[in-house]
Amino acid sequence: MRKIGFIGLGVMGKPMALNLLKAGHELTVYDVVPERVNELVQAGARRGSSGKDVAARSEVVITMLPNSPHVRTAVLGADGVLEGAKPGTILVDMSSIAPSASKEIAAQAQAQGVAMLDAPVSGGEPKAIAGTLAIMVGGPQETFEQVKNILAAMGSSVTRVGEIGSGNVTKLANQIIVALNIAAMSEAMVLATKAGVDPEKVFQAIRGGLAGSTVLDAKMPLALQGNFKPGFRIELHIKDMANALDTAHELGVPAPLSSIVMEIMQALKTDGKAGNDHGGIIQFYEQLAKVQVRR
């Protein structure tokens, strides 16, 4: 059993924290929304009053927050993690943020004797609940070994991919592939439907071939139901794609397809669909083709 702090109890953070409790760890939690903390306290966690308080009570502090500015504030800001952390504390940021931000925060943490890993996840809310997330980790091998078992309580795949920042580079690569897969699925299925072919039969016909994918299997059944309840919201994928494009531009890497999908998601956001699941990308094509892909 380890003393773990968890900051950020949103759609992903709450089930991840619950899985740490189920694994028998002593958990102290904090979120800016008190109601989220209440649910974890009822499940057996201790209530933290701030990031500083959580860190002071913990050997390992996990952050799961929306974007780079939120992580900077939670870790580096007033009453933040670094104000309460002792030398030897390990910080594991599981948020999906810019790789450059991970490096910046890690450098300041290291100056205070706090080792940091960036460990973003993939799998959305269902896999967060099931504890079967894919976790991509950047940071020192020694630090990774110290927390690998903790991460295994939240994910079925825990892979160190390199030094600090590389976890978030891997997550950006993941998000590019997922977004383009959903767009490809959407384009293809709207074409099939407009041509008068049953999209469900098309799905069943192609899913076992080269066009099959985890993304197709996860998102097509929901599209056929018209179910765009968020597992991963379009507005969050926009955030990830913005980080991906910024990083690509910094490195001089062309990303034309990512730019196109970004504009599709921005159009859906403008249309009031920012809170839809990213599988709702199909609605962009449906609106233009004046057809719905449904059972």
Q: Which residues are catalytic?
A: 171
Q: How far apart are CA 75 and CA 91, in angstroms?
A: 9
Looking at the structure, tell me whether residues 98 and 232 fall in a common domain. no
How many domains, the chain?
Answer: 2
Q: List phi, psi (to 5°) of 190.
A: -70, -40
Residues 62 and 155 in one domain: yes
Structural contact between residues 106 and 77, judged by C-beta atoms closer than 8 angstroms: no
Residue 15 confidence (pLDDT) = 97
Residues 170-202 pLDDT 10s: 999 999 999 999 999 999 999 999 999 999 999
Whether residue 133 sits in one domain with residue 270: no
Rounded Cα–Cα distance for residues 226 and 236 (Å)? 20
Residue 85's SS3 state is coil
Q: What's the chain's average pLDDT? A: 97
CB within 8 Å of 54: residues ≥ 6 apart: 5, 6, 7, 28, 29, 30, 48, 61, 81, 84
Alpha-carbon gap, residue 214 to 181, rounded angstroms: 9
Domain limit, last residue, from 163, 184, 216:
163
* DSSP letter string, 257-293: HHHHHHHHHHHHHHTT-TTSBGGGGHHHHHHHHT---
Task: Write down the pLDDT at residue 124.
Answer: 86
CATH number of the structural domain spanning residue 259: 1.10.1040.10
Same-domain pairing of 19 and 115: yes
pTM of the prediction?
A: 0.93
pLDDT value for 117: 98
Which structural domain, as residue segments, surrounds residue 219? 169-289
User: 245 and 258 in contact (C-beta within 8 Å)?
Assistant: yes
Contact 90, 119 (CB under 8 A): no
Within-domain flag for 253: yes
Radius of gyration of the CA atoms of the chain, in A: 20
The answer on 175 and 269 residing in a single domain is yes
Q: Count other Cβ atoms within 10 Å, centred on residue 247.
A: 19
Instruction: Read off the pLDDT of each residue in 46-72 and give the average, rounded to a whole number.
Output: 97
Can you read off the two tokens belonging to residue 28? Answer: 């102290």
Q: Can you tell me whether residue 183 is helix, strand or coil?
A: helix
Q: Of 122, 148, 163, which residue sits at a domain end? A: 163
pLDDT tens profile 67-105: 999 999 999 999 999 999 999 999 999 999 999 999 999
